[in-house]
Protein backbone atom coordinates (compact mmCIF):
# COMPACT_ATOMS: atom_id res chain seq x y z
CA UNK A 1 0.00 0.00 0.00
CA UNK A 2 2.82 2.36 0.95
CA UNK A 3 4.69 1.45 -2.23
CA UNK A 4 1.57 2.15 -4.29
CA UNK A 5 1.12 5.53 -2.59
CA UNK A 6 4.78 6.34 -3.19
CA UNK A 7 4.49 5.39 -6.86
CA UNK A 8 1.34 7.49 -7.26
CA UNK A 9 3.06 10.46 -5.57
CA UNK A 10 6.06 10.11 -7.91
CA UNK A 11 3.81 9.95 -10.96
CA UNK A 12 1.94 13.03 -9.75
CA UNK A 13 5.23 14.85 -9.17
CA UNK A 14 6.51 13.88 -12.62
CA UNK A 15 3.27 15.05 -14.22
CA UNK A 16 3.51 18.37 -12.34
CA UNK A 17 7.14 18.72 -13.42
CA UNK A 18 6.23 18.01 -17.06
CA UNK A 19 3.47 20.61 -16.86
CA UNK A 20 5.85 23.18 -15.39
CA UNK A 21 8.46 22.44 -18.09
CA UNK A 22 5.80 22.77 -20.78
CA UNK A 23 4.71 26.17 -19.36
CA UNK A 24 8.33 27.36 -19.08
CA UNK A 25 8.97 26.36 -22.70
CA UNK A 26 5.86 28.24 -23.88
CA UNK A 27 6.95 31.27 -21.86
CA UNK A 28 10.38 31.07 -23.45
CA UNK A 29 8.88 30.95 -26.97
CA UNK A 30 6.51 33.83 -26.12
CA UNK A 31 9.48 35.91 -24.96
CA UNK A 32 11.14 35.44 -28.37
CA UNK A 33 7.90 36.38 -30.12
CA UNK A 34 7.61 39.55 -28.01
CA UNK A 35 11.24 40.38 -28.74
CA UNK A 36 10.68 39.89 -32.52
CA UNK A 37 7.59 42.10 -32.38
CA UNK A 38 9.51 44.81 -30.51
CA UNK A 39 12.22 44.66 -33.19
CA UNK A 40 9.52 45.01 -35.89
CA UNK A 41 7.99 48.00 -34.10
CA UNK A 42 11.42 49.58 -33.70
CA UNK A 43 12.18 49.03 -37.41
CA UNK A 44 8.76 50.35 -38.53
CA UNK A 45 9.01 53.47 -36.33
CA UNK A 46 12.46 54.24 -37.77
CA UNK A 47 11.11 53.65 -41.29
CA UNK A 48 8.09 55.85 -40.56
CA UNK A 49 10.31 58.66 -39.31
CA UNK A 50 12.38 58.41 -42.50
CA UNK A 51 9.24 58.61 -44.65
CA UNK A 52 7.86 61.58 -42.69
CA UNK A 53 11.16 63.40 -43.10
CA UNK A 54 11.20 62.59 -46.84
CA UNK A 55 7.58 63.80 -47.16
CA UNK A 56 8.36 67.11 -45.45
CA UNK A 57 11.45 67.54 -47.67
CA UNK A 58 9.39 66.69 -50.76
CA UNK A 59 6.63 69.18 -49.99
CA UNK A 60 9.19 71.91 -49.26
CA UNK A 61 11.09 71.12 -52.45
CA UNK A 62 7.89 71.23 -54.52
CA UNK A 63 6.57 74.34 -52.74
CA UNK A 64 3.11 72.84 -53.16
CA UNK A 65 0.09 74.14 -51.24
CA UNK A 66 -2.49 71.47 -52.12
CA UNK A 67 -2.27 68.07 -50.41
CA UNK A 68 -0.59 65.33 -52.41
CA UNK A 69 -2.54 62.11 -53.03
CA UNK A 70 -1.92 59.49 -50.32
CA UNK A 71 1.62 58.13 -50.51
CA UNK A 72 3.00 54.68 -49.56
CA UNK A 73 0.93 51.52 -49.89
CA UNK A 74 -0.32 51.40 -53.50
CA UNK A 75 1.48 54.66 -54.27
CA UNK A 76 5.18 55.39 -54.36
CA UNK A 77 6.77 56.20 -50.99
CA UNK A 78 7.98 59.71 -50.12
CA UNK A 79 11.67 58.70 -50.25
CA UNK A 80 11.33 57.42 -53.84
CA UNK A 81 9.39 60.51 -54.92
CA UNK A 82 12.00 62.75 -53.28
CA UNK A 83 14.77 61.08 -55.33
CA UNK A 84 12.70 61.44 -58.51
CA UNK A 85 11.81 65.09 -57.79
CA UNK A 86 15.42 66.01 -56.98
CA UNK A 87 16.54 64.53 -60.30
CA UNK A 88 13.75 66.23 -62.29
CA UNK A 89 14.48 69.63 -60.72
CA UNK A 90 18.24 69.27 -61.23
CA UNK A 91 18.18 67.85 -64.79
CA UNK A 92 15.12 69.68 -66.14
CA UNK A 93 14.08 66.88 -68.51
CA UNK A 94 12.05 67.77 -71.59
CA UNK A 95 10.12 64.55 -71.96
CA UNK A 96 9.24 62.65 -68.81
CA UNK A 97 7.58 59.31 -69.37
CA UNK A 98 5.90 57.28 -66.67
CA UNK A 99 4.53 53.76 -66.38
CA UNK A 100 1.56 53.95 -63.95
CA UNK A 101 -0.12 57.15 -62.88
CA UNK A 102 -0.94 58.50 -59.44
CA UNK A 103 0.82 60.63 -56.85
CA UNK A 104 4.06 60.38 -58.83
CA UNK A 105 2.40 62.06 -61.83
CA UNK A 106 1.47 65.06 -59.69
CA UNK A 107 5.02 65.27 -58.30
CA UNK A 108 6.60 65.08 -61.77
CA UNK A 109 4.14 67.58 -63.25
CA UNK A 110 4.90 70.03 -60.44
CA UNK A 111 8.63 69.62 -61.17
CA UNK A 112 8.00 70.47 -64.83
CA UNK A 113 5.95 73.49 -63.76
CA UNK A 114 8.72 74.69 -61.42
CA UNK A 115 11.31 74.09 -64.16
CA UNK A 116 9.16 75.94 -66.68
CA UNK A 117 10.03 73.19 -69.14
CA UNK A 118 9.06 69.58 -69.84
CA UNK A 119 5.93 67.47 -70.05
CA UNK A 120 4.91 64.26 -68.28
CA UNK A 121 3.29 61.40 -70.21
CA UNK A 122 1.87 58.80 -67.87
CA UNK A 123 0.53 55.41 -68.96
CA UNK A 124 -2.42 54.14 -66.96
CA UNK A 125 -4.14 50.79 -67.50
CA UNK A 126 -7.14 51.49 -65.25
CA UNK A 127 -9.53 54.19 -66.56
CA UNK A 128 -10.89 54.80 -63.06
CA UNK A 129 -7.44 55.65 -61.68
CA UNK A 130 -6.57 57.58 -64.84
CA UNK A 131 -9.51 59.91 -64.05
CA UNK A 132 -8.49 60.18 -60.39
CA UNK A 133 -4.95 61.19 -61.45
CA UNK A 134 -6.33 63.77 -63.91
CA UNK A 135 -8.41 65.23 -61.08
CA UNK A 136 -5.37 65.27 -58.75
CA UNK A 137 -3.37 67.11 -61.43
CA UNK A 138 -6.17 69.67 -61.79
CA UNK A 139 -6.47 70.07 -58.00
CA UNK A 140 -2.74 70.74 -57.78
CA UNK A 141 -2.91 73.28 -60.64
CA UNK A 142 -0.49 71.31 -62.81
CA UNK A 143 -2.87 69.71 -65.36
CA UNK A 144 -1.21 71.40 -68.35
CA UNK A 145 2.15 69.83 -67.47
CA UNK A 146 1.02 66.20 -67.70
CA UNK A 147 -1.01 63.89 -69.92
CA UNK A 148 -2.48 60.69 -68.52
CA UNK A 149 -2.72 58.15 -71.33
CA UNK A 150 -5.37 55.43 -71.13
CA UNK A 151 -3.45 52.30 -72.09
CA UNK A 152 -5.16 49.00 -71.20
CA UNK A 153 -2.93 46.02 -70.51
CA UNK A 154 -2.72 44.07 -73.77
CA UNK A 155 -0.69 41.06 -74.98
CA UNK A 156 1.91 42.69 -77.23
CA UNK A 157 3.26 40.45 -80.04
CA UNK A 158 6.36 42.67 -80.33
CA UNK A 159 6.99 42.03 -76.62
CA UNK A 160 6.72 38.25 -76.85
CA UNK A 161 2.99 38.33 -76.11
CA UNK A 162 3.52 39.61 -72.58
CA UNK A 163 0.78 41.79 -71.09
CA UNK A 164 1.85 45.42 -71.03
CA UNK A 165 0.36 48.83 -71.71
CA UNK A 166 -1.13 48.93 -75.23
CA UNK A 167 1.71 50.43 -77.26
CA UNK A 168 -0.83 51.65 -79.84
CA UNK A 169 -2.08 54.12 -77.20
CA UNK A 170 1.32 55.81 -76.89
CA UNK A 171 1.38 59.06 -78.85
CA UNK A 172 4.26 59.96 -81.11
CA UNK A 173 6.72 60.93 -78.37
CA UNK A 174 10.44 61.18 -79.05
CA UNK A 175 13.51 61.95 -76.97
CA UNK A 176 12.35 60.64 -73.61
CA UNK A 177 15.03 61.81 -71.18
CA UNK A 178 13.44 60.65 -67.93
CA UNK A 179 11.44 57.48 -67.33
CA UNK A 180 9.76 56.51 -64.05
CA UNK A 181 8.61 52.90 -63.78
CA UNK A 182 6.08 51.92 -61.12
CA UNK A 183 3.75 49.67 -63.11
CA UNK A 184 2.12 47.55 -64.33
CA UNK A 185 1.25 45.72 -61.08
CA UNK A 186 3.53 42.76 -60.35
CA UNK A 187 0.61 40.29 -60.64
CA UNK A 188 0.44 40.96 -64.40
CA UNK A 189 3.41 38.76 -65.36
CA UNK A 190 6.54 37.28 -63.73
CA UNK A 191 8.63 40.21 -65.03
CA UNK A 192 5.69 42.59 -65.36
CA UNK A 193 7.77 45.75 -65.92
CA UNK A 194 10.43 44.26 -68.19
CA UNK A 195 8.77 45.46 -71.46
CA UNK A 196 9.30 49.13 -70.53
CA UNK A 197 12.83 49.15 -71.92
CA UNK A 198 12.31 47.24 -75.21
CA UNK A 199 9.06 49.13 -75.85
CA UNK A 200 10.36 52.61 -75.09
CA UNK A 201 14.11 52.54 -75.87
CA UNK A 202 13.57 53.47 -79.54
CA UNK A 203 12.03 56.70 -78.24
CA UNK A 204 14.85 57.54 -75.81
CA UNK A 205 17.01 60.62 -76.12
CA UNK A 206 20.80 60.10 -76.30
CA UNK A 207 20.67 59.81 -72.50
CA UNK A 208 17.68 58.70 -70.50
CA UNK A 209 17.56 58.46 -66.70
CA UNK A 210 15.30 55.67 -65.50
CA UNK A 211 13.97 55.45 -61.95
CA UNK A 212 12.44 52.09 -61.08
CA UNK A 213 10.39 51.77 -57.91
CA UNK A 214 10.15 48.50 -55.94
CA UNK A 215 13.73 47.73 -56.93
CA UNK A 216 14.27 45.54 -53.85
CA UNK A 217 11.93 42.88 -55.25
CA UNK A 218 13.55 39.86 -56.93
CA UNK A 219 11.54 40.45 -60.14
CA UNK A 220 12.79 44.03 -60.48
CA UNK A 221 16.39 42.92 -59.81
CA UNK A 222 16.02 40.20 -62.48
CA UNK A 223 14.46 42.72 -64.89
CA UNK A 224 17.44 45.06 -64.55
CA UNK A 225 19.93 42.20 -64.98
CA UNK A 226 18.15 41.16 -68.19
CA UNK A 227 18.12 44.73 -69.48
CA UNK A 228 21.87 44.95 -68.89
CA UNK A 229 22.57 41.62 -70.59
CA UNK A 230 20.25 42.18 -73.54
CA UNK A 231 22.39 43.80 -76.17
CA UNK A 232 19.59 43.97 -78.74
CA UNK A 233 18.75 47.56 -77.98
CA UNK A 234 22.33 48.88 -78.50
CA UNK A 235 22.27 50.63 -75.16
CA UNK A 236 24.89 51.30 -72.50
CA UNK A 237 23.28 50.87 -69.11
CA UNK A 238 24.72 51.88 -65.74
CA UNK A 239 22.58 50.82 -62.80
CA UNK A 240 22.78 52.05 -59.21
CA UNK A 241 20.60 50.80 -56.39
CA UNK A 242 19.64 53.52 -53.91
CA UNK A 243 18.36 52.55 -50.46
CA UNK A 244 14.66 53.38 -50.20
CA UNK A 245 11.64 51.88 -48.47
CA UNK A 246 10.74 49.71 -51.47
CA UNK A 247 14.09 50.05 -53.20
CA UNK A 248 15.00 52.45 -55.97
CA UNK A 249 17.07 51.71 -59.05
CA UNK A 250 18.54 54.61 -60.99
CA UNK A 251 19.71 53.64 -64.45
CA UNK A 252 21.55 55.88 -66.84
CA UNK A 253 20.88 54.62 -70.35
CA UNK A 254 22.90 55.88 -73.28
CA UNK A 255 22.21 54.96 -76.89
CA UNK A 256 25.39 53.62 -78.46
CA UNK A 257 24.54 55.07 -81.88
CA UNK A 258 24.73 58.57 -80.38
CA UNK A 259 27.52 57.97 -77.83
**Residues at the contact surface with ligand SAM, assessed by CB under 6 A:** 74-76, 100-104, 124, 126, 129, 132, 182-183, 185
Q: Please, which residue, 98 or 156, has the CB nearer to ligand SAM?
A: 98
CB of 85 to ligand SAM, least distance (A): 12
Residue closest to ligand SAM (Cβ): 102
Q: Please, which residue, 37 or 70, has the CB nearer to ligand SAM?
A: 70
Q: Please, which residue, 99 or 251, has the CB nearer to ligand SAM?
A: 99
CB of 258 to ligand SAM, least distance (A): 29
Q: Please, which residue, 104 or 162, has the CB nearer to ligand SAM?
A: 104
Q: Please, which residue, 62 or 75, has the CB nearer to ligand SAM?
A: 75
CB of 170 to ligand SAM, least distance (A): 15
Q: Please, which residue, 80 or 235, has the CB nearer to ligand SAM?
A: 80
CB of 175 to ligand SAM, least distance (A): 22
CB of 37 to ligand SAM, least distance (A): 28
CB of 143 to ligand SAM, least distance (A): 16
Which residues does 151 contact at the CB level (< 8 Å), separation at least 6? 123, 124, 125, 165, 166, 169, 170
Amino acid sequence: MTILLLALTNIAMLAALALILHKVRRLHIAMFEVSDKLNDIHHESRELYGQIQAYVDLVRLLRIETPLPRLRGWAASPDFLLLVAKHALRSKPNTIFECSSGASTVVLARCAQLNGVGHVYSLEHDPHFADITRQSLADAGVAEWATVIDAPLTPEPALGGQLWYATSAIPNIEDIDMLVIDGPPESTAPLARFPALPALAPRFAARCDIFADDADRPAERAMIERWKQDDGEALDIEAAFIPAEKGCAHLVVRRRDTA
